[in-house]
Structure 1
Amino acid sequence: MDRLYFKDKNDCSKEITSYSHTTWKGIRLYDGDSKTEYRSETAYLTPSRLYFSSNDRPAMNMVLDLKCIVLVEEEEGSILRSSKIILHLLPHVSEQHSKPYTRSSASFIKLAFSNGGLSNFKICIQKSLLERAWEKHTESSSTSHSAPMAFRSGIVGIERRLQEKVENNSSSIQVAFQDMKNLIDMAKDMVQLASVMSSKIKDRHGDISDDETVKFKSYLLSLGIEDPVTRNACSSSNMFCQHLAKEITTFLLTPISDSGGFMSLSDAYCRVNRARGFELLSPEDFFQACNYMEQLNLPLTCRKFESGVLVLQLQSETNSQLEKDTETLLQARRKLTAFEVSQELGISIILAAECLYTMERKGVLCRDDTVRGLVFYHNEFSSRT
C-alpha cells in the first residue's frame, strides 16, 4: 500500500472523466493479505493510472501508477472467500506524496470486487499494461539530446524481455500461417511426384523381394489419385458420376481383389477420399457413382444385403463362391464366427457376418447365440432332409 499516494480530485477529474466507462464500484483493498479500512472504493482505470475514490475522502483520490505494476494475477475464491485480483508491485521508492501507508512490508495489494466485474477489470488492466501508454508519453516529452537506455535491469527489465519474446512469437506465428497457403499450393505437386515414384516402382517387379520394400511399395501406390474427377470439369451431373465411377473402379479394383472380392461401401468411401486429397467427395456423389458401375459394365458393382449393408464387389465374384468358401471353412472347423470368417477369407467382419446370415436364411447354417457371442454351426437337419 506504500506505492499508492493521495492526489487532489480536481487535478485528476479530467483524466477520470475521459475514461468513465472503465469504472468498478464496491472494491475492498488489501495490503498484502491484510484487510485495510478502504472497504468500499470506486476504481477508475486510465491508460497510465488506477484511481480509487470514496465518499469518505471527498477531496482526495488514491492513485496507483500502472508503471509500478509488475504482474496481475487472479486468486480463486472458495466457499468462505471471494475471488480477488492480485497486483504485484515494484519496490517502494520514496516520493514527496501523502500516502495511505508510509511503509508496507507487502510487495502486492489485493482487490476484492463485492459488486462483480473482476474478470472485466483483469482484461482491461492487462491490456493497459501491454500498451504501456506512460512510456509513449515519456518518449514524446523527452528532449532530443537525452540518450536512450540500452537496457533495464531488475523486474522491469525481465518483464520487458518477456513482452518482446511474446511479440516475436506472435510475429513468427503470423508468418507460419502465411506459409500455409504456399504449402497447400505445393500439395498437388507432391501428389504428382508420388505418382511418378509409384510408376517407377511398378516397372521394377523383379527387384522387389524384401518385406519392408513391398510395404513401402503399397504405401506409395495408395498415396493419391492423380488428377481426380471434379464437377467443374464435367458438363453434366450424369457425366460426372460416370467418370467418377470409372475413377473409383480403377483405384479400388486391386484392393478389393486382395480383400476377397468385397469391400464395405464406408471403407471404400474413406479410401477414395483419402486418395483424392483436397478434392473430397460427398457421400451422395460417391453412392450415385457406385450405382453407375453396373450400367457401365465395370469390373465392380454395388450390392445391398437384406440387412441394408452396402458393399462393392467384383462382378466376377458371386455370392455362391463366397458361400462355398465359407462352407469349406466350416467343414474344417465345425463352427464359425464372423471374426474367424473375416480372418480366413480376408474380408471385413460386416461382410463375414452378412454371409453367415445369408447362409442361415437358406438353411445351410444354424446359430448358437450365447453370452460369449454368436456362433454358427452346420445345419444337420437340412442335410438329412
Structure 2
Amino acid sequence: MKLLLIGSGGREHALAWKLAKSAKVEKIFVAPGNGGTAIENKCENVNITDIDELVKFAQKEIIDLTIVGPEDPLTNGIVNKFKKEGLKIFGPAESAAQLEGSKSFSKEFMKKYGVKTAEYETFTNVEEALKYLEKCPYPTVVKADGLAAGKGVAICENKEEAVTAVKSYMVDDIFNGAGQKIIIEEFLEGVEASILSITDGKTIIPFISGKDHKQIFDGGKGPNTGGMGVLAPNPYVTEDVMKDFEDNIMAKTLTGIREEGFDYKGIIFFGIMITKKGTYLLEYNVRMGDPETQSVLYLMESDFVEVIEAALHEELDKTIIKWNDGVCINVVLASKGYPGEFTKGHEITIDEKVKDKVFLAGAKAEDGILKTNGGRVLSVIGLGKTLEEAREDAYENIKFVTFEGAYWRTDIGTHK
C-alpha cells in the first residue's frame, strides 16, 4: 500500500512510525511532514498543504489510503473532497468535524443526546457576555467557539480574569475570528483524562486512556501549552470511571452520530473530567491528540492499518484491538521560552540507542541535520511494567537527546 499522511507535528511522526510497521505498507508520503518523518522508515515528505493540491497528488501517485492528522483540514472538508473523487480517506466528513470545529455546535449536540457535560451559555455579543459574568459562579471557564490551536480555553478564578478573557477573545480577536462566538461554562473540579477512540459510525472502540500534562511548569503551574507529556494508561480511569464514560458519554455520542446521519469513519477523542459527581465530557476532538498519540500508539500491539481498514469497511464490531501490557510515558522537550517567545534553528542530536523512542514535532531536517523549528520540539518515550519503571526509562532516555535551551517538566506521570 501507498499511504498519504497529512500533518506536520509529533502526532504525525508517531502515526508514520506506527503505520510504517505494517507489512501492508510499502510507502508513506507525509504532507508536509517534519524532520522526524523526513528520516522515518518508508517515509517521504512532500511540501503540500492545500487541499485541492493534496487531491491531485493522491490521484497522481495512486494513493491507496489517506490519513488526516490535524483538525484544520477535517473541518475544512478534506474528507468530502477526497470522497467526491473516489479516493479512500480516513477521517470524519465536514459536518461531523464540527464536533471539534465549533464548541457551541458540540455542546448543543451533547445536550440534544443527553451526553453528560458541564452547564454552559453561548454568546456572540460582548456586552451580554460581560453582563453574564456579573452573576455566574467562580471559577468559570471561557472558551473560544472555533479552532484556536488548543489554546482557546481560559479557566478564570474571578470576574476580573473572566472579563480579560472575554475581551481578548471577542474584542482584541486574538484567535483571528475563532473567539467571536464564545462559551462560558461551569467549572468542573477533578482529574482530566483523554480517551482516544476509533469509530466507523456504527461502533466506537476506545483506546487505552491517557493523562495529559498541560501546564508548562512542574506541579501543573504556569500557562497552558499544547501538552508537556502524557502517561498511558491513566491511573484515574478505573473500571467504574470507564463504565460511567461508556454509558453516559460514549454510547450517547454514538446515538447522536447515527441520528444525525454523520459520515464518520475516523478518530473520536473524548476529553473527560473525572469528578466526585461522576464523569463529564469536556470536549470532542475529531483526530488523535498530541502528545497522547505518542504514548497510546506505542502501547498498541495491533496493526493500525488493519484497524483503520476495519473502520472504513464498517467492521469494528468484529474487531479486537490488542494492547501491550505496561505503562508508557512521553515527556515533551520544548524550546526555552515556550509557550512565549523562543528561538529556532538549534541543532538536535539524538543518540542511536534511543532513536526509536523519540518523536519529533517542532523540528526540520536541513542537509541531513535536525534543527529546532517550533515550541514543542520532540517527545521522549519511556516504557515499563510499572509507572515508576516507565518514568525512570523516560528520564534516562532524555540524557541521550540534546539541543540548546531544551526544557522539560520533571514530574510527568506523578502530578494530578
Interval of TM-score (by shorter of Structure 1 and Structure 2): under 0.3
Structure of larger gyration radius: 1
| TM-score normalized by the length of structure 2 | 0.17
Higher share in strand:
2
| TM-score normalized by the length of structure 1 | 0.18
Query: Comparing both chains, which one has the higher relative contact order based on Cα–Cα distances under 8 Å and sequence gaps of 6 or more?
Result: 2
Higher share in helix:
1
